[in-house]
């Protein structure tokens, strides 16, 4: 293909560069230069293809493991992706049906509002007329009753009010026939003997009619108020229904659009995955065969390239030979191609215009090639060529319409996808914030749990210390109580002993102790008497000396004893007071200890529950953290897929959108050139064509 292009360039270059300056240059040099360029290009392609081949062979060596992993991943992904697409499509269908239902419900609610409003307006108008008539009738009755009771019956009967009351009496179904006849006879002034009422009877009938009318008026007003209330409740309910359906319609419309994009993205992913899976499976199944074929193909390409380079080198050597150059110089002269006046000049002119219709900014059309081929034949059918031109112009116009539609599609899809990327970015930012909050919550909760655990340890320590202290205090209390009571007993014995001497009446003899058997025997044999006898005999045997000076009669120290006993009483009172205070202190201390233990138990239960709640909260935060991380990864994959989809959109659309105006202008130029070619063909004059010179051909081509 490259050689064909080079040869075509050679020929077109020779034609384009044909002028007076080329006459002095041997044209074979151009051929040599082009061959040398071809030689360099083939060598350059050889180096590039060698690098590609080496990479491919390296890939062949490591393809098995890589492809199997890719195939396994695709086998897992495809059913999941297909299931997700199916579920999303089902949800989309469901949402579309729900959207229709919401639209229908909203329409029904609006229609119900309109009907209820019209009915309410009609009822209000009916009520206004009925209440007005009732009020007028009641007023007429009041006027009649007042006139009759005030003795102005004659003037009343002459006025229009009497006629109105008469009409009411005729229409009323709440009075008897007799009362109606009596009232009508009175109102018309045609009373007979049978109907000769008194004024009291007339006013009674009128008052009865007035009460009935007033009751009907009150019931009508009550019915109107009830209707207003029901209408208001209905309007509120229907408005709420309309608002709810409107909100649902807006939400589901957006969601349906999003699901449409998701489905398309997943379908593309599914198609790409299936295609890649098939390629991977085929390649894996034919790896050895394919790689062997590629190696053989490469060896063949190396062989053919060597032959091609040899052919080019030999051709260059042959053309560069001095004898060949001299021969070409003599035979070719100063020009390589002579342009003569031919009968097919018009066709060549049109061909030049058609070739000028080609544009670098639009794709090559096979239609232009077909037209060019038709114009290069020996026998050119101008009508057929014109028909081809018309078809190609129509095709170009249709392509412009396709470009317009494509640009609109690209703009909408790119805007939507960019918005989706921004939304996903916001979601990722929110998840990052949630992750940071969860991590902070976990750290804070861990610190709080540690503080609570330390608090429980401190509480247990306080409980142990308070228990030991309470035990020591109670032991001190028991010891104090025992000591003080023993002291009070001793003081009581001492006081009793003093009372025995100083206040015998206050003395309390101690209970007689039980004697042992030996003591009872001694007491029974009268040992004390024996002693007395013995002493008596001793005194008789040894007479005492004369008595010394006798002392005065002993006086009891009653005053001093009173002071001692008073002091004993004070000591006992102090001891009793100390015992009482100790008992109160013990009771208070025991109460405080029990209160402390209850509070400690409550605190332990509360803190234990708090620890459980905190641990649960920490676990929830850890779950939230993990979930946010997983969602972040999912969102990252989603945003990467969306960005990839956006990138594909840009690949698909950017070139078109950036070159849209240029392509449109170029296509218009093509159409204009084709129309010019059509005009040339339509206005061709064969006799004139034969006389056209090369210079005129170039001028027309330039035009």
Could you tell me if 14 and 336 are in contact, meaning their C-beta atoms sit under 8 angstroms apart? yes
Q: Residue 648, Cα to own-chain centre: how many angstroms?
A: 27
Question: In the prediction, which pLDDT does 358 show?
Answer: 59
Question: In the prediction, which pLDDT does 285 show?
Answer: 75
Question: In the prediction, which pLDDT does 94 show?
Answer: 92
Q: State the Cα–Cα distance between residues 454 and 216, nearest whole angstrom.
A: 82
Backbone angles phi and psi of 153, in degrees to 5:
-65, -35
Tell me the pLDDT tens digit for each residue of 344-389.
Answer: 566 667 667 666 665 544 445 566 666 666 666 555 566 777 777 7
Q: How many CB atoms lie within 10 A of CB 582?
A: 18
Residue with the two structure tokens 């202190």: 585
Q: Which of 435, 403, 347 is nearest to 689 (CA)?
A: 347
Question: In the prediction, which pLDDT does 101 show?
Answer: 92
Tell me the pLDDT tens digit for each residue of 615-631.
Answer: 888 898 888 889 888 88
Tell me the pLDDT tens digit for each residue of 153-184.
Answer: 666 666 666 777 777 777 777 777 777 777 77
Question: In the prediction, which pLDDT does 244 show?
Answer: 92
Q: Which of 434, 432, 422 is nearest to 639 (CA)?
A: 422
Averaged pLDDT in 10-residue chunks for the chain of 703 residues: 36 37 51 77 84 80 75 88 90 89 90 90 89 83 76 63 73 73 69 53 79 86 90 90 90 84 86 85 75 83 82 74 60 43 56 62 57 62 75 83 83 85 88 88 89 88 89 87 83 77 76 59 45 39 42 48 73 86 88 88 87 87 87 85 84 85 85 80 49 36 35
Rg (the chain; Cα; Å): 65
Domains of the chain plus CATH, in order, are 28-288 (no CATH), 433-509+559-642 (1.10.287)
Question: In the prediction, which pLDDT does 560 show?
Answer: 53
Q: State the Cα–Cα distance between residues 573 and 587, nearest whole angstrom.
A: 21
Could you tell me if 255 and 95 are in contact, meaning their C-beta atoms sit under 8 angstroms apart? yes
Backbone angles phi and psi of 551, in degrees to 5:
-85, 165
Question: In the prediction, which pLDDT does 337 show?
Answer: 40
Q: What is the distance between the terminal CA atoms of the chain, rounded to a whole angstrom?
A: 32
Q: State the Cα–Cα distance between residues 399 and 407, nearest whole angstrom.
A: 12
Q: State the Cα–Cα distance between residues 336 and 328, nearest whole angstrom.
A: 10
Q: Which of 340, 166, 184, 416 is nearest to 689 (CA)?
A: 340
Question: In the prediction, which pLDDT does 160 show?
Answer: 67
Could you tell me if 256 and 95 are in contact, meaning their C-beta atoms sit under 8 angstroms apart? yes
Question: In the prediction, which pLDDT does 243 show?
Answer: 92
């Amino acid at each position: 293909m490259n050689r064909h292009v080079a040869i075509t360039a050679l020929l077109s270059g020779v034609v384009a560069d044909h002028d007076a300056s080329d006459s002095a240059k041997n044209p074979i040099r151009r051929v040599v230069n082009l061959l040398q360029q071809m030689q360099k290009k083939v060598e350059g392609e050889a180096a590039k293809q060698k690098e590609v081949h080496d990479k491919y062979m390296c890939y062949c060596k490591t393809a098995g493991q890589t492809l199997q992993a890719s195939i396994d991943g695709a086998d897992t992904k495809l059913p999941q992706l297909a299931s997700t697409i199916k579920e999303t499509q089902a949800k989309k269908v469901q949402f579309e049906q729900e959207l229709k239902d919401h639209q229908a419900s909203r329409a029904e609610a609006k229609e119900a509002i309109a009907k209820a409003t019209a009915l309410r307006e009609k009822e209000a108008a009916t009520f206004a007329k009925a209440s007005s008539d009732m009020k007028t009738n009641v007023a007429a009755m009041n006027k009649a009753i007042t006139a009759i009771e005030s003795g102005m019956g004659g003037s009343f009967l002459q006025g229009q009010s009497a006629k109105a009351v008469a009409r009411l009496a005729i229409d009323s179904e709440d009075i008897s026939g007799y009362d109606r006849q009596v009232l009508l006879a009175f109102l018309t002034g045609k009373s007979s003997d049978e109907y000769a009422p008194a004024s009291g009877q007339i006013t009674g009938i009128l008052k009865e009619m007035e009460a009935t009318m007033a009751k009907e008026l009150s019931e009508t007003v009550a019915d109107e108020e009830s209707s207003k209330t029901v209408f208001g409740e209905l309007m509120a309910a229907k408005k709420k229904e309309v608002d709810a359906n409107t909100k649902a319609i807006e939400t589901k419309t957006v969601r349906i659009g999003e699901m449409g994009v998701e489905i398309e993205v997943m379908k593309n992913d599914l198609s790409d995955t299936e295609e890649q899976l098939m390629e991977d499976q085929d390649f894996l199944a034919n790896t050895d065969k394919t790689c062997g074929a590629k190696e053989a193909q490469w060896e063949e390409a190396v062989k053919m390239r060597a032959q091609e380079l040899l052919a080019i080198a030999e051709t260059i050597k042959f053309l560069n030979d001095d004898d060949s150059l001299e021969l070409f110089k003599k035979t070719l002269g100063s020009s390589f191609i002579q342009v003569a006046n031919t009968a097919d000049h018009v066709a060549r002119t049109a061909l030049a215009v058609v070739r000028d219709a080609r544009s670098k900014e639009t794709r090559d059309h096979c239609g232009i090639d077909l037209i060019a081929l038709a114009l290069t034949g020996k026998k050119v059918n101008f009508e057929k060529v014109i028909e081809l031109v018309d078809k190609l112009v129509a095709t170009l116009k249709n392509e412009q319409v396709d470009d317009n539609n494509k640009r609109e599609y690209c703009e909408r899809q790119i805007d939507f996808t960019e918005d989706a990327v921004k939304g996903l970015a916001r979601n990722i930012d929110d998840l990052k914030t949630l992750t940071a909050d969860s991590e902070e919550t976990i750290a804070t909760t861990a610190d709080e749990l540690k503080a609570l655990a330390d608090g429980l340890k401190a509480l247990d320590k306080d409980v142990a210390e308070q228990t030991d202290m309470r035990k020591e205090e109670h032991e001190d209390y028991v010891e104090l109580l025992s000591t003080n009571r023993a002291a009070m007993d001793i003081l009581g014995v001492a006081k009793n002993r003093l009372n025995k001497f100083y206040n015998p009446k206050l003395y309390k003899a101690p209970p007689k102790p039980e004697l042992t058997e030996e003591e009872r025997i001694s007491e029974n044999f009268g040992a004390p008497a024996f002693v007395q006898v013995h002493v008596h005999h001793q005194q008789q045997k040894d007479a005492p000396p004369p008595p010394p000076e006798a002392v005065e009669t002993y006086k009891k120290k009653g005053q001093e004893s009173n002071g001692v006993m008073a002091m004993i009483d004070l000591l006992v009172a102090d001891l009793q007071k100390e015992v009482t205070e100790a008992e109160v202190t013990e009771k208070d201390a025991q109460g405080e200890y029990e209160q402390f233990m209850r509070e400690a138990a409550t605190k332990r239960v509360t803190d234990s529950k708090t620890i459980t709640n905190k641990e649960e909260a920490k676990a929830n935060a850890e779950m939230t953290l993990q979930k946010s991380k997983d969602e972040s990864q999912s969102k990252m994959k989603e945003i990467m897929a969306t960005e990839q989809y956006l990138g594909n959109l840009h690949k698909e659309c950017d070139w078109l959108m950036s070159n849209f105006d240029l392509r449109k202008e170029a296509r218009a130029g093509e159409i204009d050139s084709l129309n010019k070619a059509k005009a040339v063909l339509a206005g061709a004059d064969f006799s004139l064509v034969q006389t056209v010179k090369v210079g005129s051909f170039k001028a027309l081509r330039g035009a």
